[in-house]
Amino acid sequence: MPSGVLCAELLMQFPVYLRIGSLRLRPHWVFETLAYLAAMRLYLSLRQRWGDTLSEDARWWLVAAAAAGAAAGSKLLFWFEDPRLTLEHWRDPAYWIGGKTIVGGLIGGLAAVVWTKHRLHITRSTGDLFALPLVVGIAIGRVGCFLTGLDDHTYGNHTTLPWGVDFGDGPRHPTQLYEIAFVLVLGALLWPLAKRPHREGDLFKGFMVGYFGWRLAVDFLKPEVRVFLGLSSIQWACVATLVYYADDILRWMHLSHRSERPATPVGSRIAESEK
């Protein structure tokens, strides 16, 4: 083993099971559950603090749509990650049930919310309340991915860098830890925006652009199937999402060049479709 490489097997054996009495729990499920609970708790706290002019029924319709869309999207993109493998296992129910991806979940949740808003005739942006809870949820969930090790398929390529982690088959990029660090930094950047005047919807859009830009870049460090032009299915989904937000990215760049501040104060509601 290269000198200086962090050999995680000396510290822990992956997967790192969590014990409660005689129970031995898989870390992925434990931290995924904690992620959902923490994200929902933060969402409710921010909704109470910032206020929300949507009706109770409308808001919970959107929450339900986001959850259902995320569940469907996370599965669909997972099936397209390795089309050949999916075709080989098309008769295996366990394969269809297992596996999911955050990128697909975010895209599916966004699509479902946009469709639901159209059905409910809601024309304003509604995603800001979800941005910081998503940051917290992803950070907590990735702890479970890291502790699960190779079984979770979220690790990076093999590396000789000194911070490589041996999940059992040699040192690899701990891309789960990279992502935890990134989303926490992203959250720290979004928090000041949440407290000063900004266009409604920009908090959520900033999260989406930041996270999808990150995934487009960091997934080059992962042993994923490259389906076209050297990019994986997840990376192409990231490209499509960044194109979807292109107008907002150009607007932010224009504001940055002109050193202008958006005119709409926090809490005001403008008639703008969600992006």
| Predicted local confidence at residue 240, as pLDDT | 98
| Predicted local confidence at residue 45, as pLDDT | 94
Say if 264 falls within a structural domain: no
| Predicted local confidence at residue 11, as pLDDT | 53
Mean pLDDT, residues 97-105 taken together = 89
Range of the domain at 185: 26-258
Say if 269 falls within a structural domain: no
| Predicted local confidence at residue 6, as pLDDT | 41
Is 56 in a helix, a strand, or coil?
helix
CA pair distance 146, 31, nearest whole angstrom: 10
Say if 263 falls within a structural domain: no
Number of domains in the chain: 1
The tokens describing 176, both together, are 């789960």
| Predicted local confidence at residue 4, as pLDDT | 44
What is the dihedral sign for C-alpha 79, 81, 83, 88? negative
Say if 15 falls within a structural domain: no
Q: 159-163, 174-178, 224-228, 252-256: which has the minimum mean pLDDT?
A: 252-256
Report yes or no: 212 and 242 within 8 Å, Cβ to Cβ: yes
Say if 217 falls within a structural domain: yes
Say if 268 falls within a structural domain: no
CA pair distance 107, 241, nearest whole angstrom: 8
Mean pLDDT, residues 33-54 taken together = 92
Say if 272 falls within a structural domain: no
What confidence tier does 259 reach under pLDDT thresholds 50, 70, 90? Answer: low
**pTM score:** 0.87
| Predicted local confidence at residue 12, as pLDDT | 67
pLDDT of residue 154 exceeding 90, the answer is: yes
Mean pLDDT, residues 55-74 taken together = 93
12-45 as b/e, with b when 16 or more CB fall inside 10 Å?
A: eebbeeeeeeeeeebbbebbbeebeebbeebbee
Average pLDDT, the chain: 87
H or E stretch at 203: helix 202-218
Say if 35 falls within a structural domain: yes
Between 243 and 153, where is the model more confident?
243
| Predicted local confidence at residue 267, as pLDDT | 44
CA atoms within 13 Å, Cβ hemisphere of 146: 19
Q: What does DSSP assign to residue 19?
A: E
Phi (first) and psi of residue 97, to 5 degrees:
-80, -40
Report yes or no: 148 and 26 within 8 Å, Cβ to Cβ: yes
What confidence tier does 272 reach under pLDDT thresholds 50, 70, 90? Answer: very low
Between 255 and 124, where is the model more confident?
124
DSSP string covering 64-91: HHHHHHHHHHHHHHHHHHSHHHHHHTTT
